[in-house]
Each structure stands twice: as C-alpha cells, then as structure tokens.
Chains A and B, each alone.
Chain A
Amino acid sequence: MVDYNLVDPDILACLDKLTALKVKTIIECGYSQDTKDEVLVNKGTVEQKRLLLTGDKKTITKRKFKPCEHGGVIVIKDPRPTADKVCAWMKAFVQSGQRALAIGHFTHLRADGATIYTHLKDPVKVKF
C-alpha cells in the first residue's frame, strides 16, 4: 500500500514488477486522500494485510507506531525521493532475503541498507 506522498506512475510500475502482488495506492485500497496517519498504519495495514510504503519520515515513526502493533511500515529515508531511488532501494531490499521480516515491523530504507525494528531490543540491519 503506497502512501499518497509516494504516488508516482513510475514508482508504481516499477514496484509492480518486483513482486507478484499488485501494488496498490491508499486510494485503490479504499482510503481517501486525507486519511489520518493512525488509520492508515493501525487499521489500514491490518485490514488490507499489506505493508505501508511511505515517504513520511518525520511523523510516522517507530515510537508513535510501535512494531508488532500494525501490519508493517516501510519508510523511505530520503528528503527528495525519486522513482529511481525508491525502485533501486526496494529492489535491493526484496533481494536481500529479509523482506519477510518487514511484516508487522517498522523498516527504515536507506541507500546503503535497511534497518528493521522488531519487538526485540536490537534492530536487524540489512546491508545492500
């Protein structure tokens, strides 16, 4: 489930090729374009059984939305995410072998790797 701030035809087309599952935007999942963060993360991810991919790195945080209390969130940690960047990072993450760990957890995606915050004290770090 792609958040409204990352909706871009290039990103959606690229992500569709990565996985067998059809990538949907929040609007395609039945949520309006002004849905609140809490509804999207706590309700949306659980109801839709999908991960939320967002570019909102300031307010959708692991402190506010603790791991294991939602369906899973992936935050693109870049101030100006482009389609190329998002696709390359997501591809690297999918191919890293740790993508299943993102379910129910909080993942920060960067150029050099991903950090997955689980219920455990130490986060899982994946290097690309």
Chain B
Amino acid sequence: MKKETKSSIDEYRKATYLFKNFQLLNRKLKERRDAPQNVFVIERPVNRKLIKEQFRAIAAKLCNEHHEISTDPGIFGGMPHIRNVRLSVGDILAKLYVYGSTQKIVDIYSPHVSEEQVKAAIAYAQDFLEMACDPDESSEVDG
C-alpha cells in the first residue's frame, strides 16, 4: 500500500515538473516571438503585375495631356513613345544624357522628330514621375 502511494506521489511530481517545464518553454517562446530584435519580418510579395498595370494606366492617362506622346502595344510593347516614331521617352532621356542637348537629338532624327516632340517627351517624363511618386494626401503636412 505504501509502495503504491509512493509511486503515485512520484508520478505527480514528475507531471508537475514536466508541466512547469512546458510553461517555461512557452514563456521563452513567447518572449522570443515578441522581441523585435530577433524578428525578421517577411513582407508579402509585391504584386508586380498590379503595379505595372497602375503605371501603364498613368502613362495612358498622361498621353491625353501630351499629344506628341502615345502608347501603342505594337511599338515597344506599349511603352510611351513619340507619336508615330520608334523612339521611346526613355530613349529621349538617354540621348539627352549622352548628347547633352535637345538640338543634337533633333539634328540626328530630323525630319521625323521635332524639337517640340523632344521637349514634350521630357515634360511627359517629369509629369509621369510626379504622378507616380506622388505621396498620399494623408502624408502631406499642412501649413
């Protein structure tokens, strides 16, 4: 009878010990989870397709304001380019970077490209950047 009591007490102690250990382990895990320095935030993958669609929508919208620029899916896969010319807005900026003046671009590409078209491409690029990188209204500081 004594032996049975002893064994049941041992089992109780063992169970308590395990339970305490389990509690301790849980607490440690929770601490580790809450600790900001140990947490690596895995961001949700960005939907690039959606972002591209939004940019394309902005590009198409800006074409209504800049009549010299158009987007045609057949030319440069829909990238904004000078109307009826295989020169994208990006190409114009690259050439401006290389040559340093709009006049040189006009000299090379005349009579297909005029100075107004080159300037329109630069203005388009500026408008596109301002529209695409426009901060939310909530982030604007009044006054």
Q: Which residues of A contact B (CB under 8 A)?
A: 3-5, 7-9, 26, 33-38, 55-56, 58-59, 64, 79-82
Contacts and interface: CB of A to CB of B under 8 A. Distances in A.
B94 A37 contact: no
Interface of B: 72, 74-79, 84-88, 91, 94, 97-98, 108-109, 112
A55 B85 CA distance: 15
30 contacts: A4-B85, A4-B86, A5-B87, A7-B108, A7-B109, A8-B108, A33-B84, A33-B85, A33-B87, A33-B112, A34-B75, A34-B84, A35-B86, A36-B72, A36-B74, A37-B74, A37-B75, A37-B77, A55-B91, A56-B76, A56-B88, A58-B76, A58-B77, A59-B76, A59-B79, A64-B77, A79-B94, A80-B94, A80-B98, A81-B94
Contacts, number: 49
Given A7-B109, A37-B77, 8 more contacts: A5-B86, A7-B108, A33-B86, A33-B87, A56-B76, A80-B97, A80-B98, A81-B94
A55 B98 CA distance: 14
